[in-house]
Structure 1
Amino acid sequence: MTERKLTRHEMREAALLILFQMKLNPETLDEILEDCKESFEMEYNSQSVKLAKGVAEHEDELNGIIESYSPSRKLDRISYINLAIMKIALYEMKYCPSVPDKVAINEAIEFAKEYADKTDVRFINGVLNSYYKDNPTKEQPDA
């Protein structure tokens, strides 16, 4: 069976939901993926799974980055959905050279607007932009 081509936004959203499920359920990844497909009628593809796995593999490092750029909130005081949103963006900024940093940040803000409240949107934007300013990881095309 061939998988449907998802937009980058859909792929990231699927990765976000996979990460959220991974946090809530001690099941195997295959079971989580089956649950996502059945319970949420969520489409995902190999890129979604690869992104979720990459974030999970670098979780300690990504948590450390969030902690260092979040002087006002301790990690255990940040909702998991907000953490997952930031981790995806940070992972893409650090490990996905084909994704411009500003795109990763903008996508995170879009997810925050959908899944978080207004104060969280500002907080997520602040953390990601502070990291971006301190860590220009790749060439940024002129917008």
Structure 2
Amino acid sequence: MNRRVARVRAVQSLYQIEMTGVSPDQAIDTVLENGEISDSFLSQLVEGTVEHLHEIDELLISALKNWALSRISRVDRAILRMATYEMKCLDDIPMNVSINEAIDIAKGFTGEEESGKFVNGILSNIATKLSK
């Protein structure tokens, strides 16, 4: 499984966890398609995001301007949480890579350019905060 597919499956897993409260392992098992096997990067994204959710949400809230975290769609929230986890906790991935991947995934899920711009704006604010 390449990293792009792992990120997409991580977003799907995080969405499912928020909707149903299943465990990270159950969510990952559910989103894998025929013949796909989970890998360590997918598990790291899902489990790490869930473990650091409180810190991630604090960063997201501080980066939002005139928005409440609860007003963001669940899909965008899952994308933002996963990308924030990557940016904050995975030192081997450049922040701009995490941001660009999140933008592409947001556009792919919604089919709208606006979702990508929204994700870009929030993650750029977070990157600035994390770089200080």
Detail structure 1 runs of 4+ shifted over 4 Å in the superposition.
none
1:35 aligned to 2:30?
Answer: yes
TM (norm. structure 2) is 0.87
1:110-129, aligned counterparts within 5 Å?
A: 110-116=104-110, 117-129=112-124
Kept in 2, the 8 Å contact 1:85–1:112? The answer is: yes
1:47 aligned to 2:35?
Answer: no
TM (norm. structure 1) is 0.81
Give the total of aligned pairs. 130
1:11 aligned to 2:19?
Answer: no
Deviations 1:40-61 (A, max 9, x none): 5483323201210100111111
1:16-95, aligned counterparts within 5 Å?
A: 16-37=11-32, 40-41=33-34, 43=36, 44-95=38-89
Change (3 A) 1:30 1:131: closer
Q: Which runs of 5+ in 1 are unaligned?
A: 1-5, 138-143
SS in 1 for 2:121: helix
Deviates more, 1:76-85 or 1:126-135: 126-135
Identity fraction in percent? 29
Q: Which runs of 5+ in 2 are unaligned?
A: none
Deviations 1:61-98 (A, max 9, x none): 11111111111211110011101111111111111010
Report deviation, 1:26: 2.7
Give the one of 99, 104, 127 matched to 1:132. Answer: 127
Which structure has the highest helix share of the two? 2
Q: CA RMSD in A?
A: 1.8
